[in-house]
Amino acid sequence: MRQIVLDTETTGLEPEEGHRIIEIGCVELINRRPTSQYFHRYINPRRAVDLAALEVHGIDDDFLSTQPEFDQIAEDFMKFVSGAELVIHNAEFDIGFINHELERLDLANSDITQCCEVLDTLVLARRLHPGQRNSLDALAKRYDVDNSKRELHGALLDAKILSEVYLAMTGGQADLSLEGEAASPENVHSLKITPVDRQGLTLVVPRVSTEEMADHRAMLNKISDESDEPIAWNFSENT
C-alpha cells in the first residue's frame, strides 16, 4: 500500500479570498514504512502573504518571488501523489487549497480526490481521543514524537512529524524483516520456522503444596461470602 503524508503552507486561510499555496511537502510510506522518497516545493503565489500566516510559517514575499509558480510544479506533484492514499491533518483545508490551484489551471480533473483517497488524521484523532486537544503538536507530545525542530510550521517538516504520529496512532510500522526492509509477499513467504529441539529436555511440573491449596480455598470462600454466590466449581483433595 502506498500512502503520501502531505502538508501545505499558504498565504492565508481562505482560497475563495484569493489565498494561495506557497509550500507543499510530501513523505512517502510503502506498507506503512517511510521510504527515501519525498516531494517538496516552495511556490510563488503572485500575491502577498498575510501577516498572520507569516507569523505561523515565516515564509516571506521576497523569498517566494524567486520560486516557481504552481503551474510549473503541478505535473510533478500530480505524478508523485496519483494513485496513493493521502494522509493529511485537517484534510479539508489542504484539499480545498489544492483543488483551488488545480481549478486555476483549468484542468479537466480539478479534484484531487478523483485520483487519490484521503485519510484525515484529525478526524481519526478526534475519534481516538474525544474531548482532547488534537493539534499536530498535541498529538506529537501524546505519542512521544520529537517535534523540537518545529519552531515554525513547514510543510515538509510537518509531513515528517505527521507520518510518525500517524504510524504511532495506528499501531506502528509494519515490519517483518530483521534488516528493517518493508514487508512484502516475497519476504513473508521466505520466513523460516525452526522447530525447537526438545530432545534431552526435562519438563518440571511443580505440585501445589498443602499450604498453597489451603490459601486458595480460603480465597475462594472469601469471594463466595462477599459476593453471596456459591463457588461455581469444586476440586478433589488430590488436585
C-alpha cell at 157: 517538516
Alpha-carbon gap, residue 117 to 145, rounded angstroms: 26
Q: Is 129 a catalytic residue?
A: no
- What is the residue-wise DSSP string for 98-145? HHHHHHHTT-S---GGGT-EEEEHHHHHHHHSTTS--SHHHHHHHTT-
| Residue 90 identity | N
Task: State in Å, rounded, how far the first CA of the chain is from the last one.
Answer: 54
From the candidates 89, 100, 153, 189, give the one annotated as an active-site residue: 153
Which set of grid coordinates corresponds to residue 72?
Answer: 510549473
* Amino acid in position 21: I
Task: Tell me the DSSP string of 195-233.
Answer: ----TT-----PPPPHHHHHHHHHHHHHHHHHHT---S-
Closest CA to 128 of 181, 88, 169, 91: 169
User: Which residues are identified as catalytic?
Assistant: 153
